[in-house]
Chain A
């Protein structure tokens, strides 16, 4: 009988155990998207399930992140216009903790969106990070698509070239645009998971 020294790398506080798969694992593609209610920049509650029947794009956003800036030179705005013009919903979600240098108050985030000429259906604040963790959002921008039945059908990066250079955008495959076109055509999403790249989401410490 050999004794096996076990080295626990994480003290499993009750809260940490909630993060373990099997209890509260983040939703993955093919599973129902976790429902949530968050306040928009005007202080109105917005609930994911109120959009049942329409596809919903979720965009994890943090204006301070260079990768967000890369795509807000027109790329993200164009995509928002296309998606909402198709009758789908676009929710920008900011999970930055309130003591981070990147944190923006609701009104400030609202102003930034206006300045950028962005047109999400709503920009939402998730300062305690609960929604971000439920989706396992890791970076900004991290993109998700929930189909009309409320199932998560895409999770990953905005496009296929992981870089901070805006001149890579025309060369890249935009996975969100591709998935939305497939959804509108009633086809399965061909690339349902891709590498998400960007800055870490500035979460509240667990």
Chain B
């Protein structure tokens, strides 16, 4: 019997192996196209300026450091670290704001039964679909009248006031999934809502909080329109605006340092991504499925 079946098994496993090989070849081909710009910028940052546009080689023939060492001079008297400090401050404040205010709101919507909860939840979801350009001008007028132009306040105020409905939604979905028995037991033990929120629901919601924190960090780091509208003084510029300054200053002539600066500006985003990609991708998937 065994001798009769083994050839069949072998061809099936061979076919499976061939299928697997074809799959990997296909996936790698798509991946090569997708990651080409990333690899290109890595290579280009080590090319002499004149080669960056002109050369078709992916990697530099003679790598040079000049593009990176040139960054130490800064842009029109402002050091690169200034842009990075500003962006970091913006991103950190945004993360603190979003995690605190969104989790409070989400706790109320997921765990407290109060009059009007459904209406508020619907309103909150409704803001997800609103193009934010309709708020852009009146918010600018508001912050201008309050004297907050050229500060970080307009950029982070909304984060502390839970206006990013996407994260509230993400956290509500997560908190609803937590076992009811836990907060009911806490209630029986005499815990108030603040205590239940802080010591039970918040620690258990860590995956949702981390997802929101990383997305917020990356969004703030990448944010371009916000700083473009609200920041005027170059010393207060974030990395995105610093990059634009670079373009104005150096123009097309100095592609090398522009590309090097672009790459350096991407480092925090890529680092965050590599470290936390599992949370990010799962967060993205769940928010899409339940939406």
Decide whether A and B are members of one complex.
no
Please list the residues of chain A having a beta carbon within 8 angstroms of any beta carbon in chain B: none
Please list the residues of chain B having a beta carbon within 8 angstroms of any beta carbon in chain A: none
